[in-house]
Chains A and B, each alone.
Chain A
Amino acid sequence: MAEESSASTRRRLTPFNVIAGIIVIIGLYVTVRRFTSGLSSVTHLSNSYPWGLWIAFDLLVGVALAAGGYVTSAAVYIFGMKRYHAAVRPAILTGFLGYALVVLALNYDVGRPWRLPYPFVISRGTTSLLFEVAACVALYLTVLFVEFSPAAMEWLGLKKARNLVVKLTMALTILGVILSTLHQSSLGALFLIAPSKLHPLWYSPYIHVYFFVTSTIAGLSMVIFEGSLSHHYFKDKMDAEHLAAKTDLMLGFGKAAAWVLAGYFVIKVIGIAADNNWHYLATGYGAWYLVELLGFVALPAMTYAIGVREKNTTIIRWSAVWAVLGIVVNRFNVCLVAFNWYLPAEERYFPHWMEVAISVFVVTLGLLAFRFIVTRMPILYAHPDYETH
């Protein structure tokens, strides 16, 4: 008896669990500080930089990287690519957890989080793009929850409810694409109101289109990236369909990502021309802009294409990692680097370690929740008692 329990303790004390445990403890400490001493005790936010890491990473990057849900379900249910069916449930789950964590992180950032429903029930500021974002994120989180629920219901054995929800698949998928189009683009459009604050190379009347297009790149790349991680860590949970579909999925999504990246590259260059911003390219900010455009758009487009042509999943996997990094670079550039670009260095923002700690804490919670769910519910395998939908 005693031996058994010590063995199970040893099994739980894996390096991952130990590190996750430490991160969670630090996160809880910072949480207490945030809600007892205010933002100034845990962040470097200022009157010049009202938005910092929690908006740039947790909101802007978080929402973009959670786009895999709508991209995959649209590909399978609307565009009829049924051969990628095995990827739908993991992508929906990642999307759902992603959005849930975005909302969680927002509770740290806003002054009075319990007022987050106010825009809908107390005072509707419909002229604000943030109203649009808030409405869509709230609705889409609900849609993702419903889309995810069949897996939970199969696990719990709620057969009737599960079959009812499955009937709604098409409607939910279309609603999901509408809501995603709207809020992914509106996150970029948030900055339309501040042309005098954003560096001209990043401020563009097309910025909402850029944000939407990059969200599909992020979605496709995240499905590839997260799929290969799952394949590595949860191989024992995967059924034959998931294992067999892996290469086909990587080739298909890799090809799509390369093609969307190419289109994005074109509209970015046209954006420079539309505002006649060529001369900025010769400045320091211009050099950094070119790093983003060539290094994180053109380069992954090319490497994805090579990976697809060579049918080399290793190249595709690394291209996905690089493209995801490119999304992070882009969102950080818009929200932090290009914002207030004219301020002297000492007035610029750099995150406090506790801001980083909360962001890492939130991602860790996501990983723990993902592991909890895929080890219990039929995500990476089809439940034998139910027909696939």
Chain B
Amino acid sequence: METIHTLQQFMLHTKNIIYILIVLALAAMPAFWCFLTGRDEE
């Protein structure tokens, strides 16, 4: 990865990662909710 010289580069780099994490979170949270409540009786 090239060195970060500017705030713009820093924000681009961090936001890129954050957006990927957001997508992962949106997929993982419902799955964990299902696991969490899987044995609840209706």
Contact = CB atoms under 8 A, between A and B. Distances in A.
**Chains A and B come from one and the same complex:** yes
Interface of A: 124-127, 135, 171, 175, 178
A85 B34 CA distance: 25
Contacts of A124: 16, 19
Contacts of A126: 11-12, 15-16, 18-19
B11 to A, nearest CB: 5
A127 B19 CA distance: 11
Which of A127, A171, A175, A178: most chain B CB closer than 10 A?
A: A127
Contacts of A175: 26
Given A124-B16, A126-B16, A126-B19, A171 B11 contact: no
A135 B15 CA distance: 13
Contacts of B16: 124, 126
Contacts of A171: 30
Interface string B2-32: 0000001001100110110000001000100
A171 B32 CA distance: 13
Contacts of B12: 125-127
A175 B27 CA distance: 11
A172 B4 CA distance: 39
B11 A127 contact: yes
Q: What 8 pairs between A and B have smallest CB-CB spacing?
A: A126-B15, A127-B11, A126-B16, A127-B12, A126-B19, A171-B30, A127-B15, A126-B12
Given A125-B12, A127-B12, 8 more contacts: A124-B19, A126-B11, A126-B16, A126-B19, A127-B8, A135-B19, A175-B26, A178-B26
A127 B18 CA distance: 11
Contacts of B30: 171
